[in-house]
């Protein structure tokens, strides 16, 4: 039987040699093949157990001291399987800098494929390709004597549950490089997020006699229209806050006046949420109630001399990893294809990210 390499898939290697046999024989890390192995393990939020197990075994097989930390399942997941954070460092060494990103992906699962220029599939840029680039960079830096570590978390795509667990047990690092798709540009800021649930109530009745009922759906539609025309805060170097009505549900049937309706709204923050909360409550008063179910604050980030920069209009785990050191935000891939059926990552960009991570760390720790 020939020795497996990372040019084969995770599933092929598992079937032929057992889950961890690949780890013992690998010499040079191929980020593209490693990304394929990660993508082939489905890890939609709340189902990160298998990819966490794989990563932990993989890193142990390459000489890292690894810790797995359990991340609780929320009631809404309706799942009981394990999910993990995975932390790795050189044995006996406290890292000065830690690379971090997330193992979970959004649904639906999309299998891996590739052509000469790109790799495709769920998570190739958000964020399994980033995991591969960070591991490859960390190994180069470790071998060169730099004190670096790795932290891969669960739950970023939903509520940052893994980051919150990790923040309770920091390792003393001075810097944190968080990986998200920034086109290999360093982010100078990252927008926050405010999740709002609107609920309207009414009185059921026959739709032929609207005067006998009170439609919760009509109230909710009016409340939503008022939110869509709100003037939201904006700052010059970042841009405006934005509002998206992502989900609406309610009513019983087309011929029944609705007694209940609900909408899920996400607002991207560029500052303090207090003025927005006040504006939302004023807009929906008398029509619906507003419950704030999640807030992630807006953050500004540092630059590194000589590197191109951008503004991240999306939210990251950075606000929940405050105990892991001064944060930077950097990674390969475009956020414009993340969360879409066409998620992809250029092979050249992935390989460039490895060297970029190495360069940034050497500048920070010079």
**In terms of DSSP bridges, do strands 256-257 and 205-206 run parallel, antiparallel, or are they unpaired?**
antiparallel
**Which tokens sit at 225?**
């229209």
- Reported as half-sphere exposure (CB side, CA atoms, 13 A), residue 46 has a value of 11
**Please, are residues 209 and 284 in contact by the beta-carbon 8 Å criterion?**
no
Closest CA to 320 of 192, 172, 228, 223: 192
Q: List % helix, strand, coil for the chain (3-state, nearest 5).
A: 30, 25, 40
| DSSP 3-state of 291 | strand
Q: Using the Cα atoms of residue 301, residue 97, residue 24 and residue 19 in order, give the sign of their dihedral.
A: negative
Catalytic residue among 48, 156, 180, 343: 156
| DSSP 3-state of 210 | helix
Q: Which helix (DSSP H) or strand (DSSP E) does residue 245 occupy?
A: strand 242-250
Distance in angstroms (rounded) separating the CA atoms of residues 105 and 39: 10
Assess whether the previous peptide bond of 100 is cis (omega < 30° from 0): no
**Please, are residues 340 and 125 in contact by the beta-carbon 8 Å criterion?**
no
β-strand partners of 153: 102
DSSP designation for 209: -
Q: Which residue in the block uniquely carries the two structure tokens 């309610």?
A: 250
Is residue 336 classed exposed, middle or buried when 0-12, 13-18 and 19+ CB atoms within 10 A define those classes? exposed
Q: Using the Cα atoms of residue 85, residue 90, residue 94 and residue 98 in order, give the sign of their dihedral.
A: negative
**Please, are residues 39 and 112 in contact by the beta-carbon 8 Å criterion?**
yes
Closest CA to 273 of 308, 311, 241: 241
Residue 156 bears catalytic tag: yes
Distance in angstroms (rounded) separating the CA atoms of residues 89 and 325: 16
Distance in angstroms (rounded) separating the CA atoms of residues 289 and 52: 39
* Residues with catalytic roles: 156
């Amino acid at each position: 039987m020939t020795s497996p390499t990372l040019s084969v898939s995770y599933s092929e290697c598992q079937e032929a040699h057992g889950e961890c046999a690949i780890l013992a024989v690998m010499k040079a890390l191929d980020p593209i093949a490693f990304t394929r192995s990660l993508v082939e393990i489905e890890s939609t939020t709340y189902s990160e157990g298998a990819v966490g197990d794989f990563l932990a075994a993989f890193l142990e097989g390459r000489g890292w001291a690894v810790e797995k930390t359990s991340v609780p399942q929320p009631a809404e997941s309706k799942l009981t399987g394990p999910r993990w954070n995975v932390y790795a460092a050189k044995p006996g060494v406290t890292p000065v800098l830690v690379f971090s990103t997330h193992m979970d992906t959004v649904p639906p699962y999309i299998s891996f494929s590739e052509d000469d220029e790109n790799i495709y599939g769920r998570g190739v840029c958000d964020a399994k390709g980033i995991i591969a680039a960070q591991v490859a960079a960390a190994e180069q830096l470790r071998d060169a004597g730099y004190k670096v570590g790795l932290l891969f978390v669960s739950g970023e795509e939903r509520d940052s549950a893994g980051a919150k667990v990790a923040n309770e047990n920091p390792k003393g690092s001075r810097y944190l490089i968080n990986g998200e798709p920034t086109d290999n540009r360093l982010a100078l800021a990252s927008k926050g997020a405010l999740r709002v649930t609107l609920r309207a109530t009414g009185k059921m009745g026959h739709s032929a006699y609207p005067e006998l009922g009170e439609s919760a759906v009509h109230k909710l539609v009016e409340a939503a229209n008022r939110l869509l025309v709100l003037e939201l805060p904006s700052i010059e170097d970042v841009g405006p806050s934005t509002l998206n009505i992502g989900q609406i549900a309610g009513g019983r049937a087309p011929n029944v006046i609705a007694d209940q309706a609900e909408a899920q709204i996400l607002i991207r923050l560029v500052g303090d949420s207090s003025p927005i909360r006040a504006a939302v409550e004023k807009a929906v008063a008398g029509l619906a109630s507003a419950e704030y179910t999640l807030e992630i604050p807006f953050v500004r980030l540092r630059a590194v001399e000589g590197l191109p920069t951008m503004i991240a209009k999306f939210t990251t785990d950075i606000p929940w990893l405050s105990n892991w050191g001064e944060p930077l935000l950097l990674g390969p891939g475009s956020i414009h294809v993340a969360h879409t059926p066409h998620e992809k990552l250029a092979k050249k960009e992935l390989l460039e990210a490895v060297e970029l991570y190495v360069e940034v760390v050497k500048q920070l720790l010079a």
